[in-house]
Amino acid sequence: MKKTICFLLLLMGCAISFAQSSPSNGMQIFIDSLLQKMTLEEKVGQMNQYNGFWEVTGPVPNEGNAKLKYEHLKKGMVGAVLNVKGTANVRKLQEIVVKESRLGIPLLFGFDVIHGYKTITPIPLAEAASWDLEAIEKSARIAAIEASAVGINWTFAPMVDITRDARWGRVMEGAGEDPYLGAKIGVARVKGFQGQDLSSSNTIAASVKHFAGYGFAEAGRDYNTVDVGTSTLYNIILPPFKATVDNDVKTVMNSFNTLNGIPATGNKFLQRDILKGKWNFKGFVVSDWGSGAELITHGFAKDLKEVAILSANAGSDMDMESYAYVTHLKEMVEAGKVDIAVVNDAVRRILQVKYELGLFADPYRYCDAQREKDLLYHPNHLAAALDIAKKSIVLLKNIKTTGQGNPLLPLNKNQKNIAVIGALANDKNSPLGSWRVGSDDNSAVSFLEGFKKYNSNFVYAKGADLVNGPTDFIHEVKINETDKSGFAQAIALAKKSSVVIMVLGEHGFQSGEGRSRSKLDLPGVQEALLEEIYKVNKNIVLVLMNGRPLAITWAQEHIPAILEAWQLGTQTGDAIAQVLFGDYNPSAKLPMTFPRSVGQEPLYYNHYSTGRPNTNDVVFWSHYSDESNEPLYPFGYGLSYTNFEYTDLKINDSDPSAIRVSVQVKNTGKIAGEEVVQLYLHDRVASVVRPVKELKGFKKILLHSGESTLVTFTLTNNELGFYNNEGVFVVESGDFDVMVGTNSIQGLSAVFTKK
């Protein structure tokens, strides 16, 4: 024991002295020296991640898996754990490894800090609707501060899976359908998590996921097959990953799906040729939960030994909960099936992240019980969560109803005789969304609680339950499909009210992992409730709380005011109230297309023309006989309580390497507002067909009533080029359409020629 402590002190001393010399070669020297001391078994141990297996303040596990894991912990055969939280637990586990294992290499503590830890911010799809990169980075920053305060030093975020199919449950976790917006947001999140100095005790390593293609699961069914062409892979799926790698993301998580027949965890092309080769990624790849062992179920590996061989050789550096590496990798190296260089490279990458986190200098830097007390739910975090929440709310519709001088929104703060209807209005849990494993149940400000702070002149009826029975992270949500017994009371209240606010949508556990839906309607009896209320009172404001685009076509045709309020996290009620009563003028824009019906899915704005995009009064063109091709709400769409006028679009291509586009934008309404000015390009003719339009720039501006400003963009080869089917980035001459406007279908257009 004494020897170990002396060695440890020596090791830590080295770490500190190396760090004081030039960091990078100090780190390499330190890691080289450590690698030389490690046995093969200890190296394999670094490549092994276990799920948290006991609350260490409890009795030491003495049976089954937990006993095995405990033994491995003491023998230095665990490199990381996940789902261990609380400085007491983290410190205890870290002490076991640092004091009892031979080399005392500290653990990484991973956790799904997806949109907040205790202070829960809006689901990522909602945050993406803000198009506010600063607010999004801030949201990740406060998540990192709270997570690190409870001992976590690694988050499995940001998820940057581009997706075009709202049936997929995990659309809530990403930034929607566009790679340009998705890349910007992914980088903002990485910067928020990792901060300026990864060795600081309030920054954590990020893990960009899921590499790659997971969002293209066939039919939107989670974990389903992914088969995509080269152009979609290189131009749609990969750019957000590459952007985060170019911005120093420390880890990458691979994915459950096959990509063109090869499971991502065993996919050498993805992990070695692209990620570590072309992109020169220096961090490490962690598998998704059990995705290594699933190579067997996919029919790609015959047993766990082959899993160890195929995954390690393909570049999956750390095995999360498959037990493949810890059970077989040493034997496979000794049998010559996996070269020791593969293991050394993986271990080097893992040790490097630990070094950069400062864990060798101080393994307990994330174990400060005082920070845990001081920082969770800090007022600054709650303020930031409220800010991003209100900026995520999309105004979808707001028109005058018959006999009304003004649109229903914003509501008058002295408005009397209001009815609020809907189970979600009184729900403090569902608005936290599905990926909130660190949160406290029922910790959201409910719609009613927020509303009441502005106006208590309302009556409430839930109208109908949304769910039947308890809900949790791992079981199906039982939706109330039949019980309308609460309708009568709600209808009676609506009849007597001057305005009705209906809060409808999905339960927080109806989206997220394993939560794909075959329909995109309002779940259960909610659509029926809405139509019944409409029969007795047409002055309805519909507030949606959902984790995916919904096909709310009837509502769009009948309901005068509609707010998309997603699942906004802890500050839900306050954020919605600020928008409803006009203290915040809604500014968000949809990051994902809303379809008219589920049959249109996958439906997205940056589609190809096809050879027959238009009818010629015959059926022989690309369409449905029973549905429009148009979306219900397009990508980039969102209204404001004021209006913006776009004029004077100009292109200056005197410098072909930096083509300047400018447009005048004026606030022609009566109140100040923010507008997301969007720039779309269409490369008319190319060696690989290009989408009819692609987002290539956006700026969020604030204009006061009557104020006008010139908004400029610069287009370089980065915006004009694309990846061809050999994966080579090319820029081709020819005509480009430019559209600058308020969403992906409304704006001013012009054309220029790239010489």
Show which residues are catalytic.
288
CB of 222 to ligand GLC, least distance (A): 9
Question: With respect to ligand GLC, which residue has the nearer C-beta, 320 or 739?
Answer: 320
The Cα 383–Cα 303 span in angstroms is: 51
CB of 325 to ligand GLC, least distance (A): 17
Question: With respect to ligand GLC, which residue has the nearer C-beta, 214 or 646?
Answer: 214
According to the binding rule CB under 6 A, does residue 168 interact with ligand GLC?
A: no
Q: Is 87 helix (H, G, I), strand (E, B) or coil?
A: helix
According to the binding rule CB under 6 A, does residue 294 interact with ligand GLC?
A: no
Q: What is the DSSP string of 414-470?
A: T--SEEEE-GGGG-SSGGG-S--TTSPTT-SPPHHHHHHTT---EEEE--S-SBSS-
- List 42, 178, 294, 513, residue binding ligand GLC (CB under 6 A): 513
CB of 718 to ligand GLC, least distance (A): 30
Query: Contact, 11 vs 104, CB < 8 A?
Result: yes
Going by their DSSP bridges, the two strands 394-398 and 561-564 should be labelled as: antiparallel
Question: With respect to ligand GLC, which residue has the nearer C-beta, 155 or 572?
Answer: 155
Query: Which of 289, 292, 331, 290 shows the shortest CA–CA distance to 315?
Result: 292
Question: With respect to ligand GLC, which residue has the nearer C-beta, 104 or 547?
Answer: 547
- List 115, 209, 428, 693, residue binding ligand GLC (CB under 6 A): 209
The Cα 643–Cα 675 span in angstroms is: 9
Query: Contact, 711 vs 632, CB < 8 A?
Result: no
Query: Contact, 354 vs 106, CB < 8 A?
Result: yes
Contacts of 297 (CB under 8 A, 6+ apart): none
Question: With respect to ligand GLC, which residue has the nearer C-beta, 513 or 694?
Answer: 513
CB of 81 to ligand GLC, least distance (A): 11
Contacts of 641 (CB under 8 A, 6+ apart): 395, 398, 409, 410, 582, 585, 586, 669, 671, 673
- List 132, 161, 165, 288, residue binding ligand GLC (CB under 6 A): 288
The Cα 336–Cα 646 span in angstroms is: 66
Question: With respect to ligand GLC, which residue has the nearer C-beta, 226 or 562?
Answer: 226
CB of 352 to ligand GLC, least distance (A): 21
CB of 736 to ligand GLC, least distance (A): 38
According to the binding rule CB under 6 A, does residue 509 interact with ligand GLC?
A: no
CB of 161 to ligand GLC, least distance (A): 10
Count of other CB atoms within 10 angstroms of residue 489: 14
Query: Contact, 559 vs 526, CB < 8 A?
Result: no
Taking CB atoms, the residue at the shortest distance from ligand GLC is 156
CB of 221 to ligand GLC, least distance (A): 15
According to the binding rule CB under 6 A, does residue 289 interact with ligand GLC?
A: yes
The Cα 127–Cα 391 span in angstroms is: 8
According to the binding rule CB under 6 A, does residue 112 interact with ligand GLC?
A: yes
Contacts of 66 (CB under 8 A, 6+ apart): 53, 54
Query: Which of 297, 284, 227 shows the shortest CA–CA distance to 250?
Result: 284
Question: With respect to ligand GLC, which residue has the nearer C-beta, 209 or 328?
Answer: 209
Q: What is the DSSP string of 299-313?
A: TS-SSHHHHHHHHHH
Query: Which of 385, 447, 441 shows the shortest CA–CA distance to 122?
Result: 385
Please, what is the angle between helix 304-314 and helix 340-356, to 10°?
70
CB of 382 to ligand GLC, least distance (A): 26
Residues numbered 710 to 749 that lie near ligand GLC (CB under 6 A) are none
Query: Which of 65, 47, 77, 69 shows the shortest CA–CA distance to 325?
Result: 47
CA quadruple 50, 51, 57, 61: dihedral positive or negative? negative
Query: Which of 461, 549, 448 shows the shortest CA–CA distance to 505?
Result: 549
Tokens of 472: 């949790």
- Name residue 438's amino acid: G
CB of 289 to ligand GLC, least distance (A): 4
CB of 225 to ligand GLC, least distance (A): 16
CA end-to-end distance (rounded Å), the chain: 72
- Name residue 240's amino acid: P
Radius of gyration over alpha carbons of the chain, in Å? 27
Question: With respect to ligand GLC, which residue has the nearer C-beta, 284 or 289?
Answer: 289
Question: With respect to ligand GLC, which residue has the nearer C-beta, 169 or 634?
Answer: 169
Going by their DSSP bridges, the two strands 458-461 and 708-715 should be labelled as: unpaired
Residues numbered 48 to 107 that lie near ligand GLC (CB under 6 A) are 82
Tokens of 32: 């080289």
The Cα 250–Cα 205 span in angstroms is: 6
Cα dihedral angle (480, 484, 488, 490), rounded to 10 degrees? Answer: 20
The Cα 59–Cα 131 span in angstroms is: 48
According to the binding rule CB under 6 A, does residue 365 interact with ligand GLC?
A: no
Query: Which of 517, 596, 506, 574 shows the shortest CA–CA distance to 544?
Result: 506
Question: With respect to ligand GLC, which residue has the nearer C-beta, 434 or 593?
Answer: 434
Question: With respect to ligand GLC, which residue has the nearer C-beta, 473 or 729?
Answer: 473
Query: Contact, 175 vs 160, CB < 8 A?
Result: yes
CB of 150 to ligand GLC, least distance (A): 16
CB of 458 to ligand GLC, least distance (A): 40
According to the binding rule CB under 6 A, does residue 156 interact with ligand GLC?
A: yes
The Cα 591–Cα 132 span in angstroms is: 12
Residues numbered 529 to 558 that lie near ligand GLC (CB under 6 A) are none
Question: With respect to ligand GLC, which residue has the nearer C-beta, 101 or 258?
Answer: 258
Q: How many residues bind ligand GLC (CB under 6 A)?
A: 7
Question: With respect to ligand GLC, which residue has the nearer C-beta, 112 or 177?
Answer: 112
Query: Contact, 397 vs 562, CB < 8 A?
Result: yes
The Cα 76–Cα 477 span in angstroms is: 41
Q: Tokens 């006028």 belong to which residue?
A: 645
Maximum Cα interatomic distance, the chain, rounded to a whole number of Å: 88
Q: Which residues bind ligand GLC (CB under 6 A)?
A: 82, 112, 156, 209, 288-289, 513
